[in-house]
Amino acid sequence: MELLRRSGVSEEVVMRSTRGAFKVASFRGIPIRLHYSLLLALPLLTLVFGSVVRQAARTASVPVELPGVVPFLWGLVVAVGLFASVLLHEMAHVFYALRTGGRVRSITLMIVGGVSEVTELPRRHRDEVLMALVGPLTSVVLGVLLIGLLAVLPESRIFTPRFALSYLSGLNIFLGLFNLLPAFPMDGGRILRGLLAGRMGLVRATRVASGVGKGFAGLFFLVGLLTLNPFLFVIAFVVLTGAHAEAQQVRARAVLEKLRVEQVMTPRFHGVELDTSVAEALADLHRARRPALPATEQDQPVGWVEVAELLRVPEPERAHRTVRELCRKAVVVSPEDDVWSAARRMVEAQPPLLLVLERGRLVGTVDGNDINAALALHQASEEGRPGGWPRWRQERPA
Ligand SMILES: [Zn+2]
């Protein structure tokens, strides 16, 4: 859906994570998913960390020669430990988000780290700042705790466990500090945005923060190029696209929150009747030039039908099969609802269109095109005076 592409990193993340990730566990009802990119990251990191372990063993004060695959087994231990650490970092964000009224749909671990898909941010900017801060803080504290663990562990002559522990501790501290860089949408960038938002409003603060984020993306790219570090390329890409998408989402939200459904909907007072044949319904959809239309029973709105589903009925059967068997349950909004919450319901339930009902009667429909047209119109008109838009009531037949 066009709307998804335009308006949101969270939506993009949904699509990305539902496509390429599988659920392994859940935390307070929130699915924890592993992204397939980990299948690439895990062997890669095992190799990298394994060579680090081997090198460190050779150059230790009492040099150790580790046989064959042993250093790489320890590399694997460190890599798995790193992903567990990233998960703890994400869980800290999620825990705080839930405590302050945020909503979280999933946690996904992927090649560049974790992504918590927060569908509703805490309302207060202070809470957003703290929510962003608890992740890096968790990583740093975890790093310090691992050092502490190293100190209290009995001194042993075995080199590798101690090295793995201290290396993992270092990685956690690095992870925490790296995430504090103000490269929006990384944690530090969110902290910056939250701090600015109190003074300049969310839209401007996001614009500034995402500008800084794009600057950092360029920097990561350059450093990645100079040090031949592929992870920095991936991070540069994620930061760049994330900063752009999120700035757009915030702008879209600011516009859509001010608009009411009746201002963007396509007025429509009749749907496809449930007893209509599939063939006739297809003709109706073609006439309306819409991929989906409301379905009604004696003019009472009951759901929707879409062209893709109708086309699945074999041609010879289309004359005698009816819309009734293909009708899907409606997602209903009211003309007075704001368009942002309507768009969110669309993203959550994934219907191709929303039915707009007033006192039980169908008065219109809203689909992705309607919302995108409203956004485009607003962006085109510099003043953007949503209040001055024509209201459908004036066009409504008596
Ligand atoms: Zn984080």
CA of 236 to the centre of ligand 1 (A): 16
Ligand 1 center to 127 CA (angstroms): 14
Q: Is 370 annotated as a binding residue?
A: no
Which pLDDT score is estimated for 263? 92
Per the CB < 8 A criterion, the answer to whether 286 and 313 are in contact is no
Residue 280: predicted pLDDT? 92
All residues at 6 or more sequence positions from 73 whose CB lies less than 8 Å from its CB, including other chains = 50
pLDDT at 157: 62
187 is in an annotated binding site: yes
Going by pLDDT thresholds of 50, 70 and 90, the confidence category of residue 112 is low
Task: Report how far residue 335's alpha carbon sits from residue 268's, in angstroms, rounded to the nearest whole number.
Answer: 12
Please tell me whether 89 is known to bind a ligand. yes
Instruction: Tell me what pLDDT residue 98 has.
Output: 86
Structural domains of the chain in order of their starting residue, each with its CATH number: 2-258 (no CATH), 261-395 (3.10.580.10)
Distance 379 CA to ligand 1 centre (A): 32
Contacts of 40 (CB under 8 A, 6+ apart): 111
Question: Please, what is the average pLDDT of the chain?
Answer: 83
369: tokens are 């095109």
pLDDT in tens, 240-294: 888 888 888 888 888 888 899 999 999 988 889 999 999 999 999 999 888 888 9
* Å from CA of 243 to ligand 1 middle: 15
| Cα dihedral 228, 111, 15, 220 sign | negative
Instruction: Note the pLDDT tens digit of each residue in 45-93.
Output: 899 899 888 888 888 777 777 788 888 999 999 999 998 998 899 889 8
**CA-CA distance, 368 to 374, in Å (whole number)?**
10
Residues 71/50, Cβ–Cβ less than 8 Å: yes
Which one from 11, 12, 90, 309 is the annotated catalytic residue?
90
Active site residue 90: yes
Please report the beta strands in 200-287, taking only residues with DSSP state E, as ranges in sequence order: 266-267, 272-273
pLDDT (0 to 100) of residue 252: 84
pLDDT value, residue 158:
72
pLDDT over 70, % of the chain? 89
SS3 331: coil
| Type of residue found at 384 | G
Interval between CA 326 and ligand 1 midpoint (Å):
44
